[in-house]
Structure 1
């Protein structure tokens, strides 16, 4: 999949809606936002779901794990499909089909049905890959990192905005006379319906590349794909750099998902915060996606201008290592004030690391951007899965031991002991994860580019900067 650099946008002028690249940027970002909004839409209602469906603690944890597991396979598949059919068609079908399990989640009657829906809802998490492929095809090398990071950050914001948005939808539903206990069901149906209509909007108002859609370009002979131009998926898999980036994204986005997914309970158990207060703190960190990811892509582009492709890797290594150090520091904190400061720094660094990752991805293999983006994107969910398993295992063992040790001493004492045990276990888990992230940051330095790749990137960068200068004069 390839498009000529001169036709790609060299700036991110967000108000230039006549520009196909900017228009696509907005639509793909909004679609991504809605996918993440629906993907994690059930989270604010979990207490209601647990009560109504009678979920056990294990089933509750399994629903979290299933939600990120389904995305792994979807991201691996969708990247290859983007290379073959283009991002426009892939996003259309993902939104339309992905809306089905979101709607069905509002209709479930048993724990098994709920778990199955959570698994398939996870498939819409593959929207991230299409978003990154589409922005990579629409923007020139001088701005592609910033464009990728911004679209991803604003889309990822949906995973936090749902904490505020879904209760508002539920309140609206209740105002129409629906019982509060049923509001979560209607909210999921509404979220799924919006995703469905976004799929139609995507099909009508976007195109694959600045020159047009992949299918039409091939039929017109404007996009020739010979065997020499085609990159087999197996060949893509053999590139060691992709697997380093796979681990890097597992250590950034994957850890962000797990930390934010467990932080509410951790803040309550460790610092005795109220549930609403803890939830608002986590929401505020998620809202940092508005600018934090963009900063990662921005500095990736800046280092790329100064030091070439190697510069992008150096910045990625630095910010990821810093993220790990901050998480280690947070895990050892017993003061809410100091902990709050470290949480701000963690949120900033982890989201910058995500943005920096996809300032490198577009340069790994330009003939297989979709496949590369899909593999790296899947790494994020693998990281979330493994981190969730680690925290679940440590917390479960500690809580069961605390309950057994305090059996017969009263419910309040047992609950207090259980909370303290969970806090200590999760703290140890964060510590371990933090050290792993530091090691991953160092390993990222092993990503290398050939002299030829550096020269091609330098030439394309100069061309895009020249076009930008001409447009500004």
Structure 2
């Protein structure tokens, strides 16, 4: 195994091998998750889809990711990242093949909805990387995992249209999409055979219960219930978009039934949380085993503003440049890709800076920077030189993606056995943010849209003041009942 004091990125042994295989798995999930976007026009022509139906599939593509990230986080903590990642890659190849074989809007829409599950793969690798890297290297490692894996969406955009043209004909897009399913299925086997959940001799700590997140104080229990509300609200907002008030994919009766079901699911979720945490109302948790759920809540808000805005801006930026500077769609897409391209270095950079200079100060700087960046983007108009507008977008992108890296430099340092669930909840908030921002975009101008993001980043900055810098050690209980201490600084 690698020397724990060394971080040789060009090695393919020990912890670095695990990092490379994990970001590759994440990369593939994003290729599959976004395999429709660059082929949208071909798919629309093949299936005779309207623009409203195409927009509906974009909504469906992110709908299931919100609950899936929470559920996959629980499964990761319970069964380990090796089994969970391998199973996710294999199982999600099925709706991918369904999408490639779809002959109607309904078939394609169902497959797209199910494919949203693969967007939850991100949270699995967060736990895997945290098991292999010490705290002093964790931000850098998580940043590389997130940044390089996230580039899968850009890779899909660059490669899949060419593949579709290579196969040719009306079914070229089907072969391109189908190949991403083959890639996912094949790598599930590679991942399963080549990784372990922990280094040899280390213990994989599992939560006491799988049905919900453990908290360690009465106040944290009520904060947990409060922080669950926006996730259900985002799903309700998606339902509204699909109802007769939106694109009319659902009838009024079906939409109402979904609202009722979401409310019932929230009550069930709250009940499960009570079942898991009710003992702390009668028996206080020993101080050594406590953690602060407010840390999780703060990270949720920050990821709402960072990854949520990234997902929203990536989807609208080509149109923004096309409308503002009268560019043709191809050039507008190329110019806008500069925003997403920053992921390769920005997210690892945010993790590295966090490792070197501290978690909280890095988050404060990045959050202030992204607020200023979006304020700057709100004043871009046709009088600006195009090159300057691109530089502004790339500068804003740096702070957004470095902020994402800094968020997940903290996530694994809160409570080891709950890392999957914490990552799942934080990751889900990124999708909640995307739903919120895209809804705002449908109602206001581009300038107001950027100002709203800047305002929520400002709110994130204020909330961040309540976060405590991770320090010292966290306690976990070994299978034999003894307590082990894990460094977090």
Q: TM-score, normalized by length of structure 1?
A: 0.80
How many Å apart are 1:338 and its aligned residue? 2.7
Residues 294-340 of structure 1: CA distance to partner in whole angstroms, max 9, x if unpaired? 11000111123xxxxxxx12211220121122112112111123311
Q: How far, CA to CA, are the matches of 2:16 and 2:197 in structure 1?
A: 13
Deviation of the 1:211 alpha carbon: 1.9
**Larger deviation, residues 358-367 vs 76-85:** 358-367
- Partner residue, 2:318: 264
Q: Look up the SS of the partner of 1:446 in the other structure.
A: coil
1:301 to 355, 366, 383: 355
1:191 is aligned to 180
Q: 1:332·1:431 contact (CA, 8 Å) conserved in 2?
A: no
1:154 aligned partner: 148
Among residues 453, 456, 471, which one is paired with 1:433 in the alignment? 453
Q: 2:125, 2:316 → 1: CA distance? A: 27
Q: Which digits, 9 at most, give the CA deviation of each residue in 1:107-144, with x for residues without a partner? A: 11222222222211111111110111111111001100
Cα separation, partners in 2 of 1:111 and 1:231, compared to 1, 3 Å: closer
Q: Paired residue for 2:245? A: none
Pair 1:454 & 2:471 matched: yes
Aligned to 1:52: 46
- The RMSD of aligned alpha carbons is 2.5
- Normalised TM-score (structure 2): 0.77
* Matched residue, 2:426: 376
- Cα distance in 2, alignment partners of residues 426 and 27 from structure 1: 39
Partner of 1:328: 375
Would the aligned equivalents of 1:39 and 1:125 in 2 still touch at CA under 8 Å?
yes
Whether contact under 8 Å (1:76, 1:371) holds in the other structure is yes
Question: What CA distance in whole angstroms lies between the structure 2 residues aligned with 1:89 and 1:327?
Answer: 40
Conservation of the 8 A alpha-carbon contact between 1:72 and 1:378: yes
Shift of 1:151: 0.9
In structure 1, the partner of 2:131 is: 137
Contact 1:75–1:378 (Cα < 8 Å) also in 2: yes
Q: Which has the higher helix share?
A: 1
1:69 to 63, 66, 69: 63
- The CA distance in 2 between the partners of 1:7 and 1:235, in whole Å, is 35
CA distance in 1 between counterparts of 2:472 and 2:25 reads 36
Moved more, 21-30 or 45-54: 45-54
Q: Is the 8 A contact 1:253 1:380 kept in 2?
A: yes
Name the residue aligned to 1:233.
213
1:80: which partner in 2? Answer: 74
Per-residue Cα deviation, 1:354-404 (whole angstroms, up to 9, x for no partner)? 00001111112223111111111111111111111221244xxxxxxxxxx
SS in 2 for 1:233: coil
| Deviates most, 149-158 or 161-170 | 161-170
Q: Partner residue of 2:94? A: 100
1:413 is matched with which residue?
none
Report the Cα distance in structure 1 between the residues aligned to 2:29 and 2:369, rounded to whole angstroms.
30
Q: Which SS does the other structure have where 2:74 is aligned?
A: helix
How far residue 284 of structure 1 moved from its aligned partner, in angstroms, is 3.1
| CA distance in structure 2 between the aligned counterparts of 1:284 and 1:270, rounded to whole angstroms | 17
Residues 135-169 of structure 1 deviation map (CA, whole Å, 9 limit, x = unaligned)? 11110011000000111100000011111111222
Partners in 2 of 1:25 and 1:266 — Cα distance? 36
> How many angstroms does 1:27 deviate by?
0.8
Contact 1:79 1:373 in 2 (8 A): yes
TM-superposed deviation, 1:203? 0.5
Structure 1: gaps of 5 or more residues: 1-5, 305-311, 395-424, 465-473
Say if 1:387 and 1:18 are closer, same or farther in 2 by CA, change over 3 A. same
Residues 276-287 of structure 1: matches in 2 within 5 Å? Answer: 276-287=330-341
8 Å contact kept, 1:7–1:211: no
Distance, in Å, in 2 between the alignment partners of 1:89 and 1:426 is: 43
The answer to whether structure 1 residue 14 and structure 2 residue 9 are counterparts is yes
User: In the alignment, which residue of structure 2 is the partner of 1:404?
Assistant: none
Deviations 1:412-451 (A, max 9, x none): xxxxxxxxxxxxx2332122222222221232221125xx
Shift of 1:289: 1.5
Is 2:295–2:468's contact at 8 Å kept on the other side of the alignment? Answer: yes
Matches of residues 339-418 of structure 1 in structure 2 within 5 Å?
Answer: 339-394=389-444
Offset of residue 223 of structure 1: 6.0
2: CA distance, partners of 1:248 / 1:65? 23
| Structure-2 separation of matches of 1:224 and 1:15 | 29
Number of residues paired by the alignment? Answer: 402
SS at 2:468's partner residue? Answer: coil
- List structure 1 segments (4+ residues) > 4 angstroms apart after TM superposition: 222-227, 229-232, 459-462
Q: CA deviation at 1:8?
A: 8.6
Report the Cα distance in structure 1 between the residues aligned to 2:74 and 2:2, rounded to whole angstroms: 24
- Structure 1: distance between partners of 2:193 and 2:166: 30
The Cα of 1:244 is off from its aligned counterpart by: 1.9
CA distance in 2, matches of 1:127, 1:339: 33
CA–CA distance in 1 between the matches of 2:298 and 2:3?
A: 28
Partner of 1:275: 329
CA contact (8 A) 1:314 1:445 kept: no
